[in-house]
Amino acid sequence: MRILLIEDDPGLGGAVRDQIAAEGHVPDLAPTLAYARDLLATMPYDLILLDLGLPDGRGIDFLRSLRAKGSVTPVMILTAHDRITERIEGLNAGADDYMVKPFDLAELSARIAAVARRYAGNPNPLITLGRLEIDLAAHAIHGPEGQIDLSQREWIIFEALLQRPGQIVSKSQIEDQIYAFDSEVESNTIEVYVSRLRKKLGKDVVQTLRGLGYRLGTP
């Protein structure tokens, strides 16, 4: 997933960014609401992690503005504000989850995965695809001959297709999932990783539609 992290504390922001990157996500870190708005105007995000106390405004107002504009992007609040009234305010403003600092990074990863599954329409972390058993929480795939190991980028691309079953996912949409903001995009990266996925999972698992993109097959 591509995740926008809005956090002005460089220490915490760096730790969270590194954690979610290690989980196979692509994080962009915004230390201010203004920078976050610029990023949101540039590209779509699958999830927003939002601090409430930012140098240039209140995160809760930013969240209300997003929802007022019709945004359905899931938002998780990460804040030191721990009063029950503040939690209620955050959830009522449209947040999908609320975590109080300090929090455990492993728990954050689990909650991110849970929110992503809900928005993908499949809260169950276990998926069966033909002869493949897929554990989204553990990033594990088992086939008839045992476990199938994917690299981080292979998993990101496969998960992007899993989140859109039956839909065509364009090359540019997949590039948005694997490259951080301002990163250099290599011309044939997607083709190379899709080829590797098909070798590992089966040629019918990932379909290539010339000029359009890729789609999850039905093996």
Q: What span, in angstroms and rounded, lies between the C-alpha atoms of 206 and 37?
A: 34
pLDDT digits (tens, 9 = 90+) for 24-67: 888 999 999 999 999 999 888 989 999 999 999 999 999 999 99
Is the pLDDT assigned to residue 116 strictly greater than 90?
Answer: no
Is the pLDDT assigned to residue 120 strictly greater than 90?
Answer: no
Fold classified for 2-119: Rossmann fold (3.40.50)
What pLDDT, on a 0 to 100 scale, did the predictor assign at position 182?
Answer: 57
What pLDDT, on a 0 to 100 scale, did the predictor assign at position 178?
Answer: 78
Give the mean pLDDT of 127-134.
87
Angle at 183 between CA 196 and CA 12, to 5 degrees: 105
Is the pLDDT assigned to residue 187 strictly greater than 90?
Answer: no
Q: Where are the domains of the chain?
A: 2-119, 126-216
Confirm whether 2-119 and 126-216 share one CATH topology. Answer: no
Is the pLDDT assigned to residue 123 strictly greater than 70?
Answer: no
Residue 148 main-chain phi, psi, to 5 deg: -110, 120
Q: What span, in angstroms and rounded, lies between the C-alpha atoms of 157 and 173?
A: 10
Q: How confident is the model at residue 184 (pLDDT cuts 50, 70, 90)?
A: low
Q: Could you give the percent of the chain with pLDDT greater than 90?
A: 52
Residue among 123, 111, 109 nearest 21 (CA): 109
| Radius of gyration in angstroms for the set of CA atoms belonging to the chain, rounded to a whole number | 18
What pLDDT, on a 0 to 100 scale, did the predictor assign at position 118?
Answer: 79
Q: pTM for this structure? A: 0.69
Q: Could you give the percent of the chain with pLDDT greater than 70?
A: 93
Q: What is the mean pLDDT of the chain?
A: 88
CA torsion, ordered 155, 158, 164, 169, to nearest 10 deg: 120
Lowest mean per-residue pLDDT among 35-44, 61-70, 174-183, 209-218: 174-183
Which residues, other chains included, contact 3 with Cβ-Cβ below 8 Å and sequence gap of 6+?
20, 25, 26, 27, 28, 45, 46, 47, 48, 49, 112
The CATH number of domain 126-216 is 3.40.50.300: no
Q: What span, in angstroms and rounded, lies between the C-alpha atoms of 154 and 149?
A: 9
What pLDDT, on a 0 to 100 scale, did the predictor assign at position 23?
Answer: 84
pLDDT digits (tens, 9 = 90+) for 135-171: 877 788 999 889 999 988 898 889 888 878 788 999 8
Cis peptide before 10 (omega within 30 of 0): no
